Structures are given as structure tokens and as C-alpha cells.
Chain A
Amino acid sequence: AQKVTQAQTEISVVEKEDVTLDCVYETRDTTYYLFWYKQPPSGELVFLIRRNSFDEQNEISGRYSWNFQKSTSSFNFTITASQVVDSAVYFCALSESLNDYKLSFGAGTTVTVRA
């Protein structure tokens, strides 16, 4: 069963527009962890954020912000004032308490930012 769903396959925006990436997850655990990774064209996955299930506070880091809502099992990611360098594939991932080392990734959303 798919544990992480990223419904948006591709998003294309013009520079300086905001872009929001959706992530819906599924788990029966009460303790779990959610992640976002960025995969630029070079291919190397870059860690962006980790959130545990007990911390529902939204987080902002520069132009990045994350909205975690347990009620809807969503962990959405917004890039504000997008830049060309934000062009990449973004992955949402889940790990569960029993095997907390095992990341289950969504299929990814390709973001293209046009100048």
C-alpha cells in the first residue's frame, strides 16, 4: 500500500511565484516521522526537513515553509518567491516507529521555475 502520496507530478511556475507541494501520508502508528528531500538535476538527494508526529507546529526556514496537519494526514511544503535554483524533484517521505530508519518515499513532484 502506498504510504506517501504526492498527487502533483509536475508544477511549472514563473520566478517569484509561490508554489505549494502536497503530501498526504498513511500510517497506523502514533509515532512517525515525515521528511522532505530535494533532488536537483545532479541527482543527489538533499535533506530539507524532518518532523515527528508529536510536533504539529508549522515551520519556516527562509523561503521554505511546511504545514503539518495530522487531522488530514498532510505535510505540505511551500516555496515562497520561487527562484530558478529551486527547480528540482521534491520528495516527501515517511518513516514509522517500528522501523524508523526505513524511509518510504512518495513518487515526487517535479518543480520547474522559469525565469
Chain B
Amino acid sequence: GAGVSQTPSNKVTEKGKYVELRCDPISGHTALYWYRQSLGQGPEFLIYFQGTGAADDSGLPNDRFFAVRPEGSVSTLKIQRTERGDSAVYLCASSLMRISSYEQYFGPGTRLTVT
């Protein structure tokens, strides 16, 4: 079956611009996660959705970052006034339910480059 998909695969933007990154989870998965992976590092948690609501957004670095999941499926990560330090690979994952008995399936990521 189809895995987690993310679009675009690559995004280059200028400092100060607004970007949106999209995640399509596996069908039927109620839990969705965003992580950010900087070069040479492991992924870092950003936000977790259970259904339509953001159950935990404690990993978002500041108020320039925002994510939505209006219908409980597709999610969009939005970054305002991008900075060069936002350059990273943004990973989306989904799981059947929230508890860690259920494996998180990761998408291929969106590589964001802020020039």
C-alpha cells in the first residue's frame, strides 16, 4: 500500500519568505508527527496530531512555525519569515494510533533550503 508521502521533495526559498510543506499520511492512520532533521543530526520532534488537533506542539521552535491538519488526514507545516537556520529536512510520520506500540512510518522528507 501507499506509504507516507511528502511534497515538495525539495524547496528552495529566500530568507523572509513563507513556505508550506505538505504531508499525506498512510490512510487510516490517526496519529501524525512532524520532525526536523538538520545535517548530521537525528530527527527532532516538532509536533504531534491526534486526529485534527495538535496534541503536542512543544517542539515547534518559535511562533513562525505552525501546522494544521483540518480534516484529520493531510497536514501542512507552515513557516513564516523563513531564516537560514530553518534549512533542514522536514520529516513527516504517521502511525495507526498514538501509543508507541504502533510503529511510526516516515515519509521521504522535504529538504528545505533558505538562501
CB distance from A27 to the nearest CB of B (A): 13
Binary contact track B26-49/A, C-beta < 8 Å → 1, others 0: 000001010100001111110010
Residues of B within 8 A of A102 (CB): 45, 48, 56, 59
Nearest B residue to A45 via CB reads: B106
Please tell me the size bucket of the interface on B.
20 to 34
Residues of B within 8 A of A104 (CB): 45
Binary contact track A90-108/B, C-beta < 8 Å → 1, others 0: 0101010001111111111
CB distance from B41 to the nearest CB of A (A): 6
Nearest B residue to A89 via CB reads: B42
Supposing A44-B109, A45-B106, A47-B104 touch, asked if A101 and B98 sit within 8 A by C-beta, the answer is yes
**Do B41 and A107 touch (CB < 8 A)?**
yes
Binary contact track A65-78/B, C-beta < 8 Å → 1, others 0: 00000000000000
The answer to whether the Cβ of A43 comes within 8 Å of any Cβ in the partner chain is yes
Residues of B within 8 A of A50 (CB): 100-101, 103
Residues of A within 8 A of B41 (CB): 107-108
The answer to whether the Cβ of A57 comes within 8 Å of any Cβ in the partner chain is no
Of A37, A43, A45, A101, which contacts B100 at CB under 8 A?
A: A101
CB distance from B57 to the nearest CB of A (A): 11
The answer to whether the Cβ of B108 comes within 8 Å of any Cβ in the partner chain is yes
Of B40, B43, B56, B100, which contacts A33 at CB under 8 A?
A: B100
Residues of A within 8 A of B35 (CB): 103
CB distance from B6 to the nearest CB of A (A): 10
Which A residues are within 8 Å of any B CB, using their own CB? 4, 33, 37, 42-47, 50, 91, 93, 95, 99-108
* Interface contacts beyond A47-B104, A102-B56: sample of 10 additional A-B pairs, CB < 8 Å, sorted by A: A37-B106, A44-B3, A44-B109, A50-B100, A100-B98, A101-B99, A104-B45, A105-B42, A105-B44, A107-B42
